[in-house]
């Protein structure tokens, strides 16, 4: 395994190797803010794994692209365009482009683990 036991290489047909990852592996605690890990980056999509501390960054995001977010573990409270939204593990939502949003609160135990899919277009600057 590599990348802190999150991926492993597997041989498949025709001498090819593919990487198999695990979103739940190696969840080291972070003191504050969030830790972002890019899982896949393409011309029109950016997929990342996000691990939140109990003290999330108070950053207000207002992105030029749609973002689909799934809370894989924990509980969180978001502010999306002025509305408070409570999330628990398994909940997901699509945040449209140019919609202000931020994380207000995240659980301590279990800590929050997210999967975010940024749906880019050719004019996005991410």
- Residue range 74-126, pLDDT digits in tens: 999 999 999 999 999 999 999 999 999 999 999 989 999 999 999 998 565 56
User: What region, left, alpha or beta, does residue 81 occupy, with left being phi > 0 and alpha being psi -120 to 50 degrees?
Assistant: left
Confidence of residue 2 (pLDDT cuts 50, 70, 90): very low
Confidence of residue 4 (pLDDT cuts 50, 70, 90): low
According to CATH, the superfamily of the domain at 27-119 is: Jelly Rolls (2.60.120.10)
Q: What's residue 3's pLDDT?
A: 47
Q: What's residue 122's pLDDT?
A: 58
Comparison of pLDDT for 34 and 86, the residue scoring more: 86
């Amino acid at each position: 395994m590599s990348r802190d036991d999150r991926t492993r290489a597997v041989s498949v047909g025709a001498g090819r190797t593919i990487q198999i990852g695990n979103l739940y592996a190696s969840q080291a605690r972070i003191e504050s803010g969030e830790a972002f890990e890019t899982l896949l980056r393409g011309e029109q999509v950016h997929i990342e794994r996000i691990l939140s501390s109990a003290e999330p960054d108070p950053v207000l995001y207002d992105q030029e692209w749609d973002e689909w977010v799934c809370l894989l573990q924990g509980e969180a409270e978001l502010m999306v365009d002025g509305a408070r939204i409570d999330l628990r593990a398994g909940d997901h939502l699509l945040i449209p482009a140019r919609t202000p949003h931020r994380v207000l609160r995240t659980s301590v135990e279990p800590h929050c683990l997210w999967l975010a899919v940024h749906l880019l277009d050719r004019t996005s600057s991410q």
